[in-house]
Amino acid sequence: MDSLVVARLPCQLVTDHLEADVAIVGSGPTGATVALALRQRGIRDVLLLDSHDFPRHKTCGSGLSPRAIEILGQLGVWHDHVKPIAYPINGIRIVTRRGNEAWVSAGEQAAAAVCLRHEFDFALHRAALAQGARFVPRFKAHEGIFEGDRFVGVRAADGREVRARFVVIASGAHSALTPNRGPKRAMQTVMGWWEGVPFRPHHVEMIWDDLVLPCYGWLFPETETRVNIGICYDDDDKQKNARQLFDRFLDRHFRERLSGATPVFSLRGFPIVYSYRPQRLASPGRIVAGEAGRLVHPATGEGISQGMDAALYAAEAIDDVFAGRSPERDALRRYERRCARRFLPSFWLGRGFRGALHTPLLDWIVSAGRYPAVQQAAARFLAHF
């Protein structure tokens, strides 16, 4: 029998109560990476929970940074599972608020990719199940289950329960299962897909325009013929009309190129929750990773590689506890410290970059782009944010 079917059958038969060594809430890139890393470390009973079945549509950014590709390679899933469905990227078009532009590339060492999210997420999900993780679809996690101050499981909206020695929360921006209940910072997005838009092959476009500053707009080619065009923008006061803002952006930057193009899907949008200083990423029995922990870059909105990095740290912490190499308290503190060391410098840099966008900095970079050293530095800076 197919290994994916075997992985699913036990979860379909048990409807009220399940137990596992590790339960992972959310089977997106972060959750699936946790599952893969745990199984590869020899953790036997890993259970993925998701509010949807797979494959499922996902309205989200589709860019894979060089670091994300590196992690996929470490997990052994890049070449066979993801690379065949990804569109390679080796350059960036930068457009400044004053209308200056440059095409920059840092070569293969900064190569990235674009992969439609429902295909990427499904590929990682399948890889996790093939490694032996179990899966419960349509599990809408509603609340945590506690014994004293220890997080011991999750309860679904329909009353089903899952209990585990450890629970990883990787269920995205709207998760109500995290220990950090403070106010959230969020940028808004709206995007669409078109066939037949002219673009330079294997290049993304990032456009900083006063309409959306300190955020930006983009064009990501997803195949040889289909592109994703979108904007992200701040709207803390909920005063902006997303459709009108997007229409103005398209008219300003893509009117001619869209004249002969065909829309593929309806416009979609979602909030991106980010932070400048991630905190409260763990508590007894619980680890938070990915966008649920606000591990998203504040300037670019990129969160896939951050979530996958955190997933690797989470798997190592859980393995250390299970193997008796570290007390749980020490392992959880180490997880939070590793996340801080990994993300804080780039998040602070992103905060500074957002502020600098109202200055001529980006125009200077573009004007100096004819120098190879500046061009490579700019491309690496954007690729490794």
Query: What residues contact residue 331 under an 8 Å CB cut-off, 6+ apart?
Result: 317, 318, 320, 321
Using omega within 30 degrees of 0 as the cis cutoff, is the peptide bond preceding 214 cis? yes
Task: With beta carbons less than 8 A apart as the criterion, state whether 365 and 94 touch.
Answer: yes
Rounded Cα distance, 383 and 385, in Å = 6
Distance CA 164, CA 193 (A): 41
Distance (Å, whole) CA 288 – CA 293: 6
| Residues with Cβ within 8 Å of residue 272, at least 6 apart in sequence | 173, 186, 187, 188, 189, 232, 291, 296, 301, 303
Cα(28)–Cα(49) distance, rounded to whole angstroms? 10
CATH 3.50.50.60 domain position(s) in the chain: 3-75+117-181+277-352
pLDDT of residue 162: 97
What pLDDT tens digit does each residue of the chain (385 aa) get?
Answer: 344 443 443 444 345 789 999 999 999 999 999 999 999 999 999 999 999 888 877 666 678 999 999 999 999 999 999 999 999 998 889 899 888 888 887 666 668 999 988 899 999 999 999 999 999 999 999 999 999 999 999 999 999 999 999 999 999 878 888 887 777 888 999 999 999 999 999 999 999 999 999 999 999 999 999 999 999 999 988 889 999 999 999 999 999 999 999 999 889 998 898 888 888 999 999 999 999 999 999 988 889 999 999 999 999 999 999 999 999 999 999 999 999 999 999 999 888 888 888 888 778 777 766 656 556 666 655 555 4
pTM over 0.75: yes
pLDDT of residue 10: 44
- Where in the chain do CATH 3.30.9.10 domains reside? 87-113+184-273+353-383
pLDDT recorded at residue 175: 84
Match domain 87-113+184-273+353-383 to its CATH number in 3.40.390.10, 3.10.50.30, 3.30.9.10, 3.40.30.10: 3.30.9.10
Buried b (16+ CB within 10 A) or exposed e, 123-160: bbbbbbbbbbbbbbbebebeebbeeeeebbbbbbeeeb
173 in Cβ contact with 273 (< 8 Å) = yes
Radius of gyration of the chain measured on its C-alpha atoms:
21
For residue 201, count CB atoms less than 10 angstroms from its CB and return exposed for 0-12, middle for 13-18, buried for 19 or more.
Answer: exposed
Note whether 65 and 381 are within 8 A (CB).
Answer: no
Which CATH superfamily, name and number, covers 3-75+117-181+277-352? Answer: FAD/NAD(P)-binding domain (3.50.50.60)
